[in-house]
Amino acid sequence: MSTLVKVARYHLVQPFQYLLLTWMVLAFTFVVNVVIFGVTPVRQHMVPTANGLVSAASMDGRYTGALCSFFIIFLVLGVQSIGRSLPFGLTLGVSRRSYYMGTALLAVVLACADGLALAALQAIERGTGGWGVQMGFFRVPYLLNGPWYQTWLTSFVGLGLLFVYGMWFGIVYRRWSLVGTLAFIAAQVTVLLGAALVITWAHGWTGVGHFFTGLTVAGLTGLLAVLAVGLLAGGHATIRRATV
> Is residue 25 within the footprint of other proteins (CB under 8 A)?
no
Q: Looking at beta carbons only, is 51 or 91 nearer to other proteins?
A: 91
Percentages (nearest 5) of helix, strand, coil residues in the chain: 75, 5, 20
Q: Looking at beta carbons only, is 10 or 138 nearer to other proteins?
A: 10
The minimum distance between CB 138 and other proteins, in angstroms, equals 29
> Is residue 84 within the footprint of other proteins (CB under 8 A)?
yes
Q: Looking at beta carbons only, is 52 or 93 nearer to other proteins?
A: 93
Count the site residues for other proteins by CB under 8 A.
Answer: 26
Q: Determine whether 243 is exposed, middle or buried from the number of CB atoms within 10 Å of its CB (0-12, 13-18, 19+).
A: exposed
The minimum distance between CB 12 and other proteins, in angstroms, equals 10
Q: Tell me which stretch binds other proteins (CB under 8 A): 27-35, 83-91, 193-201, 211-219.
A: 83-91
> Is residue 177 within the footprint of other proteins (CB under 8 A)?
no
DSSP code string of 130-171: IIIII-BSS-BTTTB-S-HHHHHHHHHHHHHHHHHHHHHHHH
> Is residue 150 within the footprint of other proteins (CB under 8 A)?
no
The minimum distance between CB 111 and other proteins, in angstroms, equals 20
Candidates 43, 117, 111; CA nearest to 81 is 111
Residues belonging to the chain: 244
Determine how many CB atoms are found less than 10 A away from the CB of residue 133: 18
The values of phi and psi at residue 20, to 5°, are: -110, -50
Q: Tell me which stretch binds other proteins (CB under 8 A): 49-57, 80-88, 129-137, 156-164.
A: 80-88
Determine how many CB atoms are found less than 10 A away from the CB of residue 233: 12
Query: What are the beta bridge partners of residue 100?
Result: none
Q: Which residues bind other proteins (CB under 8 A)?
A: 1, 3, 6, 9-10, 13-14, 16-17, 84-85, 87-88, 90-98, 240-241, 243-244
